[in-house]
Each structure stands twice: as C-alpha cells, then as structure tokens.
A and B are shown apart, each in its own frame.
Chain A
Amino acid sequence: MDGNVQNVIIKTNLLLKEYGMASKNKYWKGMDELQETQSFQASKSVEFPEQNNLESILADDELNEASTGRRDFLKFLGFSVAAATVAACEAPVIKAVPYVMKPENVIPGMPTWYASTYYDGSSYASILVKTREARPIFIKGNKDFGITNGSVTPQVIASVLGLYDSERLQSPLKSGKATKWSTLDKEVKSSLKTAKNVVLISNTVISPSVLSSIDSMAASIDGDFDHIQYDPISYSAIRRANELNYGKSMIASYDFSKAKTIVSVGADFLSTWLMPTEFASQYGETRNPDAAWMSKHFQFESVMSVTGSNADYRAMTKPSEEEAVLNYILSKLNGTSSPLTKALKTTADLAITALKSSGKESLVVCGSNNTGLQQLVNEINNKLDVNGTTIDLYNELNLFKSEDGKMLDLVDAMSKGKAPDVVLVYNSNPVYSLPNGLEFAKGLKAVKTTVSMNAHADETGVLCKYAAPVHHALESWMDFRPKTKHYALAQPMITPIHNTASVIESFLVWSGTTLRPGKSSTVAYDKVKETFSELSSGDFDLAVHNSCTDIAPSTIEETLVFNNAAISKTPGFNKGLEIVAYQKTAIRSGEFSNNPWLHELPDPITKATWDNYITMNPVEMSKAGYATTFDQENGLSMASITSNGIKYKLPVYPSPGQALGTVGVALGYGRGGNGEKIGKAAYQTKEYGGHVTDAKGNPKPIGENAFKLLTAVSRELSYANSAKITKVEGEYIIAATQIHHTVMGRHSIVRETTKGIYDAKGKESYNPAHTLQTLDADANHVEKPVGEFDLWDAHPVENIGHRWGMTIDLSSCIGCSNCLVACQSENNVPVVGKDEVRRGREMHWLRIDRYFASDQEAAVGTRKDKDTFSYSEAEIAALNPKVVHMPMMCQHCNHAPCETVCPVAATTHSNEGLNQMTYNRCIGTRYCANNCPYKVRRFNWFNYPAYKKFTEINPAQDDLGRMVLNPDVTVRTRGVMEKCSFCVQRIQSTKLEAKKDGVPVADGKFATACSDVCPTNAIVVGDWNDIESKVRKSSEDKRSYQALEEVGVKPNVWYKVKVRNEENDLLAKLQVEKKAHH
C-alpha cells in the first residue's frame, strides 16, 4: 500500500484511537475489516482478488479440451484486460479525518522535530526525532546540543521501529493474562509490604528521577531492599581498576579528538565500546589528512572490529596475549623489558615510538573486562601523563555501573535456596545474558513475587508473575545524568500507544506516594521537573527544547592522584583455541534482536545478514578443511564449539584478520527460543514465509546465545574464554551482501595512500587523473583527461540552477553503517529477509563495500607488481588485511548508462543533475540495472508490503509497524526498479523552504539521510553549482576522484582518497609522480 493513502488511514486510526473511538486496540483498513464481514474473512488471506483471475479461467478442464486453445487464450486475455479496465473505473472512496481539536504545533503534512535523548542501557545519544501527524518516523543525532556531537549508532536510528513493535506488551499482565493496573498495583504493593527482602535488578540507571523514585519505594519497604545494576556488557573492571589506582570507582571521560596516538587493545571504541556515540566523531576529527596533525591508530585485537578495520596498524592478538602487549608497552615506556611474540613486537614497537613522541597527547584503552589489564592501562596512561588532555577524571561517565559480583552472588544465593521474597526486574534480562542465566531462572521460580517491567515478555519477563510494562522511550518523560557535569531530558513524542506506564510512575505508585492517573498521567513529568529544579537553576522549558543542560557538580571535587597498586589477577587461558564473544555493530548485546532493520544491516566487516556464526581466519580454515568460499547455493561448513560446558553447532565464517588460534562468536543471538514473544523478526523464517519451528512448535531463534559460552573471572564477566572446536557434518547457507573480499587491485574504484606520500608528493602520485591518447592539432600523440572525451553532448547541469552533488571521504568513513539504516528509515526501503539477501536481492539503496587488501596489493587497490600480478591470488584477502569501507549508492551520472537503455523513459536526468526514477512509468525490464557500472539499482521482485513470505520480517506488513513509513516517499510496488534518489524529497522541501522565504538555498540546508547521521562528516552534500559550497570545494580537493572515472559516465558523486597514517615503503615506491597514467 502506498504512502498517501496509508497516511490517511494511519491518521484515521491514530485519531480514532486518540479520541477513544476504537475501543479495542485494533487497527482496521476499512469497514469490512472492522465489522469482520464474511467476505472480508474470506479475502484477507488472498493476495489478489479472485475475480478476473486468468489462471482460473484457463484451468477450466473444458477449455483444455477445446481445440483452439491459443485463440481462446487471446479471447480471455482480451476479456481480462477489459474487465480490469472496468474494475479500475470505480474510484475508491478515501476518508479524511481532521482533528477535533488540533494541537497547536501540528500542521498536517509538515514534520515536527523534537529534541530528546536516547538511552537503552548501553547506547546514549542526544537525538532529534522527526514526527509526522504526531507519529515519530525518523531519528538522527542532535548536532547542536548534548555531549554526543550529533553522533548516533544504528540502534538509535532503528529504535523508532521498536515503538511500533506489535509484540511489545500492551497491558499489564498477571500470570500471563491481561489485568488492570489497579489490580497489579494493589497486589505488588501488598507483597512489597510483607516482604522481608526485596531485590530490584536493572541495567545501569542514569536517570536521577528514576533513582529517586526507586529510593522512595525503598523507603516505603519495611524489609531489606537491594538495587542491583547489572549490564549484559560489563565494564566493571574499569571502575575497579580506577578504585585501586585513584581511590574512586569511576569511568573517566575520554577525548579521542586530542589523541595523536591511539592504542587500543581489544576495544572497539568506534562501534561498541563504552560511548561510541562520543568517540566516533572525536576520532573522525583526527582523521583529516589536511589538518595540522593526523592521529596514528594502533589496534591489537582478535576479531576484526569496525575500529580495527580503521586502524593504521592492526596486530592480530589473542585475548591471552593482551596482557603481554600491555606489559610490553608499559615496560618499554619505563625503560625495562618484557617478553612478547615477534609478530606483535613489530607493531608494539611502532606504537611505543608513536606514544613516546606524542606523550600526553596519547590514549591507550583496553576492551577487556579484567581489573588487572585495566590497571596496566591506567599505569601506561599515567606514565604518558594523559590525564587532563585525553582523559578527564573529573567528568565521570555515569553509564555502565554493572555490579557483576553482586549479581552473581544473588544467583548463588538463589540456587542455595536463599531467594528474596520479591524480585523486580527493570530493563534487564539476566536469564538470557548471564552465563548462568538458567540457574537464575530456576531460582526465580522460588521467589514469591516476581515483577518484570521489561517492555517485552522476554526470557526473564515470562518467568515473572507480574508484568508491568514500561513505555517506549519515545512515549515517556525521562531524565539522564550521563556525566557528572551534564544533565539531559527525554520528552514524549506520541501518546502511549498501549496501556503501559512510565517506570517513574510505577515506582512512585508502589511506594504509595502517588496514584495512577491513566493515560493523561503527568506523574513522570512532574517528577522530572522536580528533579531538574533540584539540579539546575535554569529554565526547564529551555532545557526541554535543547534536550539537555550543563550542570555544575554539587560537591567540591577531590583531587584524584594515581597510586600504584598491585596488579589484580589477570585472566588465564588454557592452551589451545580461544573464543571471543564480540558485539556486532547491529545486534550488540541482543536488545535489538527483534529489529528487522538491524538484522538486515550487513555486518560492516563480514557483510553477513540475519545470522550468527563462528568467525575464523580463512588460513586456518583451509588447514582444518572448512569451506572458505560460499555463495547463494553453496553454504559454509558447520562446526561444533564447546566452551563453559555448552556445545553449539554453528557455521564457520571466513574472516580475514581474525587472530590465529582464536574464533569469534557474536553476542545477542539465540533469543526467545522457548516460546517467549520477543518479536516476529527474531526468528528464522521459511522460504515461503512463516517461522521455522522446533519439535515443540516454538519458533527457532536466529543463531545461538554466546553469553552461555562465557564465565566470570574473579567475579567479573569475561568476554573471552577457552574453547574447543570440531568440524561436523553439514552445510549452512549464509546470506551476505558481499561475498568477494578484495577490490582486485582496481585503482579506479578505491584509492589509498599514506600520510607521508600525501604530504610529500603531488596529486599525480596518489590520485592521478585517467587519461586517453588523442591527436592534437599537429597530429602529435597527447594524453588528455577522460573528462574531455564524450559520446554525448554535455548534460546542461553545470553552473545553471542547482546541481546536487556529494563527496565521500574514505579517510573519515569508519564503516559504522549509520547511513545505511538512516536511508532505510527515510526512504521506506523494504526488509526482504535472509532468503532474498542470499539471492542478492537486498533492497538497500546504499551499501557499504568493504574491501580487504590482498597479498598482491601494496594498499587496497594498488597492485604490488604489475608484471607478476595474479588475479586468482588477488582474490584472496591477506592474513591480516588492511580494510577500506566505501559507501556506494547511485552516483547520479550525468551520462547515465541506465537512462539510455530504458525503453519507457522511466529513468531520466533532471536539470539538477539527479538521475530520476519514476516508479509509475517503470515496466521492470531491468535493463538499467544491467547497464549500471556501480550495481546500485534494486528491483522489487515481490510485493514486499503484502506477500506472505515477508509477513514476519517486513514492518510494513504490520498494521502498527507500517506507521514508521515516511509519508513523503512512495512505497514501491512489485515489478519496479528503485535506487538512491539523493533523498529528492528533502531536496524538494529544501528548495520549497527557500522559495517560500525568498532566499537562495543556503549551503548546509540540504542534507540527505546518510549525510545527516554520519558521525565523522565523511559524507558532504550540497549544491555543486554554488561555488562557495562545501561540496564544491570538497569535490575540487586534490584527494577527490570519481569511481570508475574511465568509463566516462560523469557521476555527481566524488570519493576522496583514503589516507592511512602508516609507513608503506612499497606504496611509496609505486606512487611516484609521473606525468601521465593509463
């Protein structure tokens, strides 16, 4: 169903809902459905109405017997065309329902933006939310306010889909059955009254208002009360190390933008470690080769992470070697020595040289959750004297206060029969994420009263007697204190869709200090306002408008001095294989395993979607006999992996750069396997729709739960372990969007150089223009740039009107994949599921190509030796390859090959340089896609918003889920081509705003969805004809080139050469200045 109609229907539904017309929580598309008429019941499972169905007419036996089948066929064809024509004559009656009382700030058809804050227990970001007719449809970072500098993560962008998740709990439950809040409150209150001990388990709470309402509740309880903050991904070791070294249990603020040398030992700080929303943009600032300095980044890690793929130097390091690396660096800085393997020494020595030269403008971080290792990091950072430059000890991070020990003690106590009387669970799922979650689950059964405040009936939630579901983050008032000196607010964008409650309200109600006023409740608002007035003397409305405010710390800061402390016990590993449980960029620790956008987001490194697998270095894989290549028909070998007494069978994925002797398994998968309802998209789907089910009839989850493979080391949750792996029978097909690893030395796609070459040599050496030979006036052979040769007349876009252009800086692009999710959200890109992705039919308008360097290349795209270059070997990625991330979307060629082959002129060129795609003209020949050198066109093979194959995964098939669709963008139907439109809806609205104001389009007013959410500002868009615009200047930079320039299609997208801050003698030899280049 398409945008505008949908819009009206949605509007109707929302309004009816708002005004209490629809008594049940049900959405209907027409009167038929509302009244559930017989004909509707019969027709709802059929995609096409039966009338005029040619097949049924032809299937008639009598007709088969007829001698003149062909002529009858034509007759019936004629009849059905006529019938279709007649049927189309009847205009549908479309309803339009205006408000009764229009809210002042809502203009139908115009977006309203709200500033708010996102926090889900692990990601934190200041955000802007776009709402249309009071329904949130798009989230991006807030560049003007807050501590995250406009950065977001794919989870933040995709979280808007969670609002419309129809599997979210819709009302309070008692023993799995819907109940009233009044009943639940009465019973919970009475059990709290009589309880001897009450335990609240939550993830880290950074809301002062929630903490204060928990305090109120605690005060009202006569028995013991304990609040355990427990995060699935724990950083407790950093806090403990700081307690030992600085006397205070805290996590400091890091500033990567001031670090000239960055050494990370297993910390994926650009994507998953601590605050990637803060670090990514800081890191981006240091990656500009034209700035005064460019950071040098060393990464020691086992699983290739997004951060590792961006490192200037990356060393494959086993978890057991992390300690040695840190010890070696520390000892070298102290002038002593410590043992280290030869392979690691080379990189470590370079890192030490760099650290010594940058001194206090350095930063060393470590991803391990082990106090001993974190103490070593503290010692190194202290030795380098970075406190005050890259580390701010006095602006603590309030996130990640996980108390692993306390949580593990509780499980122990429970399994010994010392269960508390009441257990409350808020935003926490220990049954799933604790290594011994099953013990916790057993213990939970002995607890008299259990209350889950989780939004879903998840693994922990279903075991609880009561469910008191909380609002979605976009429905409620909330406040946050992410750092000592910062206070932020979240405001609701929409009236709560379901009968849920604010967590603040629930705690206050159970403490007996307030009543439940129902939907129009202001309890949370009042509480947040009260907290604000206690913390700040500023204007509350202004703080809501900005979503945050800086606050002065209430207490006088004590001076923190570094003390040497004995290094705590470091993790021990058995000899043999080590397993690293890592967080994927998209799925993280599993809170989002029901989000189809994130499942379909190709992993930035492996490019696999919808799956969990064991990553292993292909070199080791071939030795052990695993298949190292795969495609849509041929799967990967299976292996059985054993760790912590748990055995899983998973496919083995070839991941170049994976440290030898280690394997990686992603966390966050294997959720909801026991019939819990965590969301339709969290399960495996069959080829023609429906879930794959197990023997009990429960849908089978995707992948396995890697948390169970882990253990705790000295009461700290560790994310690496010893393991055993054996190859087992079987093959498993993986759906990856890119199954080739390298760019095969093609210089015209990816260009890379080093900082040294870039500084010393001219453009011709690292970014030579493509030239062709021609004859000049005197019949001499001369070389001229490709741009001067043309088959066609120039398209009149230059210097007249607008010409929309884009530049993408490969130096700044970190492959975070925000752009991809934002594009999906903005442009109603359908989710197609694993089986379709496997067939190469993913619909993403924007893809990020990840290219590994092969041993045949000096850098990605540069052949080491032209004479001995071997294509077959160039196909194989190096053992520990360098990586380039390259966002690729429609290049809007001025001489577009797709336009010339379209038989119906469905794709045409605009005077503003856009390659326009007109869906209603397209007849689906797919000539254009075949003729596109960039392979960015996508074909609608199915009616994704209706066909049963996509029911489980496509939110557009859900009456509630489709509210997330952008009403300004058509929902494409089956049989048409689609592709990146440069967010033409945004171009048109930017132009319209300028025209209405009577001013020229100012540079920066227009942003595509991808450029809007880029944390490192790698994507610059604008009007190229505006000679002062950023994009014009950027496109004329000496690093700018166009992909496949030699084919002469004249794109409106420029890429900028990737500059790596490394020494590469081979590349320096190759990239010499020369006059011309073929």
Chain B
Amino acid sequence: MKITNIQKVTELGRGLKALVLISFLALAPSYFSQGEGLFKAKCATCHAVFKNGTGPKLYEARQRWDDAGEGDLIYEWVRNNGALRASGKSQRANEIFQEYKGSVMSIFADLTDDQITSIFDWVDAQDPNAQAAGAGVQASAANGVEMEEDKGLPWLWIILGVMFIIIIMAVGGVRRQLKIATKESEEGQEGLTYVEEFKTWAWKYRLYVGLVSLVVVLSLLVGFFQTLYGVNLMEEYQPSQPIAFPHDVHAGVNGIDCKYCHNSVTKSKSAGLPTVNVCMNCHKKINGEGKEYQGEINKIYAAAGWDPTKGPSGEYTNEISPIVWNKVHNLPDHVYFNHSQHVVVGGLDCKQCHGDMAKLKETAKVQPRAALNKIQENIDSKIEFDRATLTMGWCIQCHEQSGISITDGKNNYYTEIHDRLKKNDYDLLNAYNEDGRVSVKELGGWECSKCHY
C-alpha cells in the first residue's frame, strides 16, 4: 500500500523536526555523548536518572556527596565502593550501603576521573521536566502511525462501486419505463422483462459490454490477490501478555540497554526473552510505586519464588513457576532467522526492525513499516520499507537496500570474499559496485537457502 501525498507532507514535517534535533545533538560537546554511552552501558541497569531503584538515582548525586562533605570520594566510590567502605574514610559510603540493604554495587576499576565526570555531567544536564513532556509527544506520534494505516481503502471502493451500480440501475429503470411507455403507445406490445431487455441491450453494445466485463473481471482478480497479500500480516500484532511490561520505562526512562535483557541476541539466532533471574537483578529492590505496578512486579516475584515479606529483605522460597509469555514476532516455521547475524555481523540496531521500543508504552507489538521508516538509522542507511513488517518482501527489501563494506578490512571474512572477486572476476565486482555499494543481495542475500532449509 502506498503512502498518500498528505502523509508524505506530514512525514516531511516530522523529518524536519528530527533534522533540527540531530543538528542540536551534533553541536553538543562530545563528552556529553560519552557520558550518555557510559551511563547506559555501566550504570543504567541499576541506576535511574531521576528515580531510586536498585541503586539511588544519579541526578545530582555529586551534589549530595558534596553536601555530605565528601565530594572527592565519589570517584573512589564509583570505582571500588567496597574498598572505600572498608577504608572507613567515608561516612556516606556506609550510609548508602545501609540504605540499600546491603546490595553491593559492582566494581568499575577501569573508569577514569574524566569518564566519571562525564557521566555525572550528562546526568545532571538532563531536565527533570522534559521527561514527562517527551512521553506525551511520543504517544501522539504513536497514534499518528495508527491513523496512517489506510484500512478504509477497500471499503471506499466497495461503497463507490455500490453507488455506481445504484445510479446505473436508477438511470436504466427510468429509461425502461420511458421505453415501455413509447412501445406500448406504438404497438401495444407486452414489455420485455429486465433480463430479456438486458440481453438485447448487451448484444447491441457487445463490444463495450465485453470490454467493460474484461476490465471488471481483471480488477476483481487483482483486488482478490491484493487482498490475499494482506492476509495474515503481522503488522501491529500485539498479543496480550501475562505481565504488562512497559518497554518505555525500562529501555526509555531507565535507559537499560536492550542487550541486557535480550542477552543472547549477539550469540544466538534467538534474541532470548529475559530469564526471571535477570528481572530479579533489579526487581529484588524495585517493587514499584502504586498498586498497579506492584501487582505486575509481584507476578515476577511469584515466578521467581521470591517472598519480599520474609526475612530482613526478602527470601527465595524455591517455589518457582516460569512466566508464559505470548510470542510477538512470529516467523513462519520454514524461515530461519538469526539475530546474531544481523546484530553482530550486519551491525544493525534493534530499533531498525523492532522500532523504538524505548517509546512504546504498551506491551510489545510488531511495529508497522511506517514507524520503522522513521528510525534514524534506517533513514541514514537509505532503507525505506514499503512491504509489511515481518513479510518476506520486507526482509528482502532490506537485503537489497543495505550494503556490506567488504573493502574496509575490518572483517577478514569479507576481505577474503573481496580478494576472490578482485582476483577472479573483476567485472563482476565492478557490476556489484555500480551503485556505489555491494548489497547483501549481491553476496547471496536473496538466495532461497539463506533463510529456508
């Protein structure tokens, strides 16, 4: 289905907005992005910016250490908190440890003072008010996406068709009455039935009737096949889940890296659902604010066999029961898909296929192609999907549009492939390079047994 012009204009507008945002980001000091990266890689699994979690919130943490008169010690704390506590130098170190009921912070001995400063600089530069506003914008964007789905299109055609037929009938009826009236007056003959008259009429204009019928039949056939193409599409598929898991809170607000929970994504064909023990890394401490959240988090406790009321700070009861999720991204069984191939070798970011989960408030769903086309990485790589997400057309379109750098020498596998091409069929290599890149398709990405076996 094509995107209408109006939608293109709105998209252009949105694209402009994004452009402004990017240029702003590009102007920001580089260690800002270093701080952000480090925060997400090292801190975000336990610390949030504005909210206490497994560890305390980091927003203005420096200030709090300064207030306690131990501003310099925060660097030592970050690098090796155990050593700092043991040294007895710091009062605050032991206070925090007590406050968080003895949950031990990991050791980050390799962080330099500059790096730690960059993390705190970035954290403190975040705007506590922007968070809520940003979420609002995202929600409206998500609604917009849904509206773009022109599901009414076939109905429009049907209504138009029905109206057209009614008009023809009406006109024909009037004409017939007139005809009967004239004939009766001329010959006094009984009027022909509708069918007989239609037959005579059709025979008289057989060329036009024939042509029109051909067009109608062909359009119906085309319409039929187009409808079949739309059957069983997984776009927007959003099954209910046993736990209302909000991706925006975890990946968005808390900035947890996707790979922290889906940790086999770099190793295996399956990205892996987080095992309950991974949830418990954080949720042992975080039990949610408000009844609604607590109810959901209690489901994790039930699965993990964790009783937060037992003992000083909760205990495992060993009565575990796995969480039965409903799979969101279902590929047909005859398709082999490997996450690690795409993430490690292809260097794709999760959002290029799954959309920006950091902004998804509801439970996980299959993002429509329109949403994917707005992902910056896809725009940068000139990938634009016009086939529905999770269809074969969608896969191979990307395989055609995305290139592999085989000459940069970074991956010796491709260097070898390049050498063989260079040595044995330079013309073919030139043909590959005609459009300025070697696409996945050209290296076999469109071959059946790439994915089907």
Contact = CB atoms under 8 A, between A and B. Distances in A.
Interface of A: 2-6, 8, 12, 15-16, 19, 21, 85, 88-89, 91-102, 107-110, 796, 798-801, 908, 910-912, 914, 916-921, 968-971, 981, 984-985, 988, 991-992, 994-1001, 1025
Interface stretch (B61-69, B159-167, B291-299, B323-331): B323-331
A935 to B, nearest CB: 22
B413 interface: yes
Contacts of A89: 231-232
Contacts of A88: 231-232
Contact of B264 (A5, A100, A107, A921): A107
B436 interface: no
Contact of A102 (B275, B332, B417): B275
Interface in B228-244: 228, 231-232, 234, 237, 239
B246 interface: no
Given A91-B330, A110-B268, 17 more contacts: A12-B324, A92-B330, A97-B325, A98-B272, A101-B275, A108-B270, A109-B264, A110-B264, A801-B420, A910-B447, A968-B336, A970-B333, A984-B449, A995-B411, A995-B413, A996-B340, A997-B413
Contact of A93 (B239, B443, B450): B239
Contacts of A2: 333-334
Contacts of A999: 412-413
Contacts of A988: 336, 338, 449-450, 453
Contacts of A914: 449
Interface of B: 228, 231-232, 234, 237, 239, 264, 267-270, 272-277, 303-305, 320-327, 330-334, 336, 338, 340-341, 344-345, 410-417, 420-421, 423-425, 428, 443-444, 447-450, 452-453
Contact of A100 (B275, B334, B414, B448): B275
B453 A985 contact: yes
Given A796-B425, A800-B428, A108 B264 contact: yes
Contacts of B336: 968, 985, 988
A1074 B413 CA distance: 45
Nearest to A909: B447
Given A110-B267, A796-B428, A97 B322 contact: yes
A999 B412 CA distance: 5
Contacts of A8: 327
A95 B325 contact: yes
28 contacts: A3-B333, A89-B231, A89-B232, A91-B237, A94-B327, A95-B326, A99-B275, A100-B303, A107-B264, A108-B264, A109-B268, A110-B268, A910-B447, A912-B447, A914-B449, A916-B448, A916-B449, A917-B449, A920-B334, A970-B453, A995-B344, A996-B340, A996-B345, A997-B413, A1000-B412, A1000-B413, A1001-B413, A1025-B420
B383 to A, nearest CB: 20
Residue among B333, B344, B415 with the highest chain A CB neighbour number at 10 A: B333
Given A91-B234, A91-B237, A914-B449, A998 B267 contact: no
A984 B275 contact: no
Residue among B411, B444, B449 with the highest chain A CB neighbour number at 10 A: B449
B277 A102 contact: yes
B453 A998 contact: no
B324 A97 contact: yes
Contact of B344 (A92, A912, A996, A1025): A996
A920 B452 contact: yes
A50 B410 CA distance: 58
Contacts of A992: 338, 340-341, 345
Contacts of B450: 988
A108 B414 CA distance: 28
Contact of A981 (B232, B327, B340, B449): B449
Contacts of A21: 321-322
A113 B415 CA distance: 31
Given A88-B232, A910-B447, A994-B413, A100 B428 contact: no
B270 A109 contact: yes
B407 to A, nearest CB: 14
Contact of B334 (A85, A94, A798, A970): A970
Contact of B452 (A85, A918, A996, A1000): A918
Nearest to B453: A984
Contact of B448 (A12, A91, A908, A985): A908
Nearest to B337: A4
B270 to A, nearest CB: 4
Nearest to A3: B333
Nearest to A992: B341
Contacts of B322: 15-16, 19, 21, 97-100
A960 B264 CA distance: 27
A470 B366 CA distance: 48
A994 B344 CA distance: 12
B409 to A, nearest CB: 10
Contacts of A5: 333
Contacts of B415: 1000
Contact of A96 (B268, B273, B345): B273
Contacts of A1025: 420
B208 to A, nearest CB: 27
A361 B2 CA distance: 80
Contact of B424 (A85, A799, A911, A921): A799
A911 B444 contact: yes
Contacts of B453: 968-970, 981, 984-985, 988
B231 A919 contact: no
A852 B322 CA distance: 59
Contacts of B413: 991, 994-995, 997-1001
A101 B449 CA distance: 35
Contacts of A798: 424
A798 B344 CA distance: 29
A177 B268 CA distance: 45
A911 B330 CA distance: 29
A919 B334 CA distance: 8
Nearest to B266: A996
Nearest to B278: A102
A591 B421 CA distance: 54
Contact of A107 (B267, B447, B452): B267
Contacts of B323: 97-98
Nearest to A799: B424
* Top 9 A-B residue pairs of the complex, sorted by shortest distance between their CB atoms: A2-B333, A109-B270, A799-B424, A109-B268, A1000-B416, A98-B273, A916-B449, A918-B448, A102-B275
B411 A911 contact: no
B449 to A, nearest CB: 4
Given A16-B322, A918-B449, A985-B453, A799 B412 contact: no
A1001 B416 CA distance: 9
B376 to A, nearest CB: 25
Contacts of B452: 916, 918-920, 970
